[in-house]
């Protein structure tokens, strides 16, 4: 599959609802999970898209474009429930083809209307009852065991809404990691959180058993950060750089990553330069197109459009070329979004 086709799919989406899909929640959502030309792909669902998947092919305006597709089947573990009656599906979800993902705390101190990230809908899935606010370590460990045994899940992502404490939610993450590590020792785990005020927490997460970490800044441009992330931008970029550096020391080169969202207004060349610098420092820059989705302020209030395909493709190509040059591949992360790759086009060019 060409990079330009992958970028178009990421921006225009597909018609229909594949068996594994997300609606609302942390990070990119409102998508269907497919395997396209052998690579995991989380593609937005869009009733107006020219693309539709038809069994094992992708059609564009009714014509076969020569791309092989498999939809990911509904996992068996979704049918389970904890002893206290909570559906496993409300505790963790299948992402891509073999990633178990959970948001351990589904609320965020920044979710007030004047503070929240304008692209985020973390509390929407809670509002519609498709998840629970706080998942206990025991619940997550039970679901992880079932997902590995019943569906062959190969890695796990644990993210969290930001808490009021100085650890910004990392301590509960560490408890959850420890529980999963005890129940499913073979399952690699990535954690995702804001930079904790006390960087020692990063060592705690590693010692609890996390294999990789995502510390997601989304934009390296302070003006963009203030506009799109009024609450989160109060954490200075310097704190991100300090956390990334310590995380690389603790977790290792290319076991640390950050999302960079294309389409928030950041200058493309500055994003490319910043992404290359991060990669050189051992932090994988996960280039993801901004995805307009219902339930976010970006769509409901700002009516913000998806980015232009040419811009996404340019940034993806140039960052991907640099990643290849320095021998840094998302697939080499032990776990996490970079290892999954479904929300980015970088994996189509080997980055
Ligand atoms: S890249 Fe991350 S958010 Fe996207 S499908 Fe994979 S695990 Fe989920």
With a 6 Å cutoff on the Cβ, whether 183 touches ligand 1 is no
pLDDT averaged over every residue in the chain: 94
- Centroid of ligand 1 to alpha carbon of 294 (angstroms): 19
Q: Whose CA is nearest to atom 7 of ligand 1?
A: 337
CA angle 67, 73, 77 (to 5 degrees): 150
Contact 26, 327 (CB under 8 A): no
Q: How confident is the model at residue 338 (pLDDT cuts 50, 70, 90)?
A: very high
In eight-state DSSP terms, residue 222 is H
- Does the Cβ of 44 fall within 6 Å of ligand 1? no
340 in contact with ligand 1, CB cutoff 6 A? yes
Whose alpha carbon is nearest atom 1 of ligand 1? 337
At residue 308, the pLDDT reads: 95
The two beta strands, 283-289 and 256-262, are parallel
Query: Which of residues 140 and 83 earns the better pLDDT score?
Result: 140
Question: What's the gap in Å between 212 CA and the centre of ligand 1?
Answer: 14
Domains of the chain in start order, with CATH, are 3-349 (3.20.20)
CA of 280 to the centre of ligand 1 (A): 23
pLDDT (average), residues 187-204: 96
In whole angstroms, give the CA distance from residue 12 to residue 60.
Answer: 11
Alpha-carbon 267 to chain mean position: 22
Ligand 1 neighbourhood includes 335 CB (under 6 angstroms): no
Question: In 3D, which of 45, 94, 93, 60 has the Cα closest to residue 291?
Answer: 45
Judge whether residue 27 has pLDDT over 90.
no
d(CA 289, CA 309): 9
Ligand 1 centroid from CA 96, angstroms: 6
Tokens of 114: 């004047």
User: Does the C-beta of 342 come closer than 6 Å to ligand 1?
Assistant: yes
User: Which residue's structure tokens are 């990691």?
Assistant: 177
Ligand 1: residue of 10, 96, 159 to mutate (most ligand atoms within 8 A of CB) is: 96
Q: Is 214 in the pocket of ligand 1 (CB under 6 A)?
A: no
Q: Is the pLDDT of residue 149 over 80?
A: yes
The pLDDT, as a whole number, for residue 223 is 98
DSSP string, 247-290: HHHHH-TTSEEEEEEETSS--HHHHHHHHHHHHHTTEEEEEEE-
Average pLDDT over residues 227-254: 98
The model's confidence at residue 93, banded by pLDDT at 50, 70 and 90, is very high
| 73-90 pLDDT, tens digit each | 899 999 999 988 999 999
Q: What residues pair up with 261 in beta bridges, in sequence order?
A: 288
Q: What percent of the chain has pLDDT over 90?
A: 80
Local structure of residue 121 (DSSP, 8 states): B
> 157 in ligand 1 pocket by Cβ < 6 Å?
yes
156 lines ligand 1 (CB under 6 A): no
CA gap 300, 124 in Å, rounded: 13
Residue reference for tokens 């970029």 = 237
pLDDT tens digit sequence for 288-327: 999 998 889 999 999 999 999 999 999 999 999 999 999 9
Question: Which residue out of 153, 260, 340 has the highest number of ligand 1 atoms within 8 Å of its CB and is therefore the one to mutate?
Answer: 340
- Cα-to-centroid distance, 343 and ligand 1 (Å): 6
Q: How far apart are CA 240 and CA 242, in angstroms?
A: 5
Residue 275 and residue 170: Cα distance in Å, rounded?
25
- pLDDT at position 315 is 97
Q: How many angstroms separate the CA atoms of 45 and 28, rounded?
A: 12
Confidence of residue 57 (pLDDT cuts 50, 70, 90): confident
Q: Is ligand 1 within 6 A of the CB of residue 96?
A: yes
**pLDDT tens-digit series, residues 101-113:** 999 999 999 999 9
Distance CA 179, CA 313 (A): 40
Predicted confidence band at 261 (pLDDT cuts at 50, 70, 90)? Answer: very high
Report, in angstroms and rounded to the nearest whole number, the Rg of the chain calculated over CA atoms.
Answer: 19
What is the CB neighbour count within 10 angstroms for residue 175? 15
- DSSP letter at 57? E
Q: Which two tokens stand for residue 118?
A: 């304008």
């Amino acid at each position: 599959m060409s990079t330009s086709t992958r970028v178009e799919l990421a921006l225009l989406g597909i018609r229909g609802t594949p068996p594994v899909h997300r609606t609302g929640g942390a990070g990119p959502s409102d998508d269907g999970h497919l395997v396209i030309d052998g690579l995991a792909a989380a593609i937005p669902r869009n009733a107006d898209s020219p693309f539709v998947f038809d069994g094992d092919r992708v059609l564009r305006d009714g014509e076969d474009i020569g791309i092989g597709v498999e939809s990911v089947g509904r996992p068996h573990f979704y049918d389970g429930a904890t002893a206290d009656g909570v559906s496993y599906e409300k505790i963790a979800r299948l992402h891509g083809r073999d990633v178990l993902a959970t948001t351990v705390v589904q609320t965020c101190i920044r979710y007030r209307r004047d503070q929240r990230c304008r692209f985020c809908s973390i509390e929407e899935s809670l509002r519609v009852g498709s998840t629970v606010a706080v998942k206990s370590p025991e619940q997550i460990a039970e679901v992880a065991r079932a997902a590995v045994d019943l569906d062959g899940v190969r890695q796990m992502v644990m993210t969290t809404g930001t808490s009021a404490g100085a650890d910004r939610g990392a301590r509960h993450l560490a408890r959850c990691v420890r529980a999963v590590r005890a129940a499913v020792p073979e399952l690699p785990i990535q954690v995702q959180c804001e930079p904790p005020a006390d960087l020692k927490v990063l060592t705690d997460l590693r010692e609890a058993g996390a294999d990789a970490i995502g510390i997601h800044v989304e934009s390296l441009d302070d003006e963009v950060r203030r506009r799109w992330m009024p609450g989160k931008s109060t954490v200075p970029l310097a704190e991100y750089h300090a956390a990334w550096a310590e995380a690389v020391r603790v977790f290792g080169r290319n076991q640390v990553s950050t999302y960079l969202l294309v389409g928030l207004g950041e200058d493309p060349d500055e994003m490319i330069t910043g992404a290359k610098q991060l990669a050189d420092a051992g932090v994988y820059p996960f280039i993801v197109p901004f995805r307009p989705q219902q339930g976010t302020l970006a769509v409901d209030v700002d009516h913000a459009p998806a980015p232009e395909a040419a811009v996404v493709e340019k940034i993806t190509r140039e960052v991907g070329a640099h990643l290849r040059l320095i021998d840094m591949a998302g697939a080499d992360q032990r776990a996490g979004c970079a290892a999954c790759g479904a929300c980015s086009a970088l994996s189509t060019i080997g980055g």
